[in-house]
Amino acid sequence: MTEKQKMLTGLLYDPSIDKLENERLYAQDICFQLNQLSPSAIDKRQRLFKTLLGKTKQKFTIMPGFQCDYGYNIEIGEDFFANFNCIILDAAKVTFGDNVLVAPNCGFYTSGHPLDSQTRSSGLEFAKPITVGNNVWIGGNVIVLPGVTIGDNSVIAAGSIVDRDIPSNVIAMGIPCRVHKTLKAH
């Protein structure tokens, strides 16, 4: 099994192999280009994002300051909006549903490191997917950690650190993020 296959299946893998390093450099080059574009270069921005990301729908906006590891593991739904300084570490799949709003300075981190210091110092890491449902609003400065699913119609309050699944139709907040209130289902 290759290191990339290990990465994509959630096993410990070595991110320093040439193939993965080259794929990250490719994504970093595109992110650099995106972040240098004039705000009025909307068509060029959309083309570059469609080249970088694994799957997009027609209507989406991602503001400058965007960074990712690979790009091809990111899928965004219709009417996706990510404000300034969005970071997506996509060693595993990151999927956003339709009508998702991401406020400034948010991070979605699929990558993690072993707790055992000897294994961690060997350079191995793991990745677990993140899924964000439809009609979700993520407040500013939110961090979503590996393996988390956020259900449809939910709101994650600003400053939260989401370390476990959040159900549909709730407002969740805090460090760690927990359900605060249930919303009416539509």
> Could you list the active site residues?
113
Cβ neighbours of residue 122 under 8 Å, at least 6 residues apart?
Answer: none
Enclosing H/E stretch for 141: none
CB neighbourhood size of 75 (10 A)? 18
Cβ neighbours of residue 49 under 8 Å, at least 6 residues apart?
Answer: 34, 56, 60, 62
CA distance 125 to 102: 27
Q: For the chain, what percentages of helix, strand and coil (3-state, to nearest 5) are there?
A: 20, 25, 50
What are the tokens at 104? 């400034």
Of the candidates 7, 8, 53, the residue with the CA atom closest to the CA atom of residue 30: 53
What DSSP character marks residue 178?
E
- Beta bridge mates, 155: 137, 171
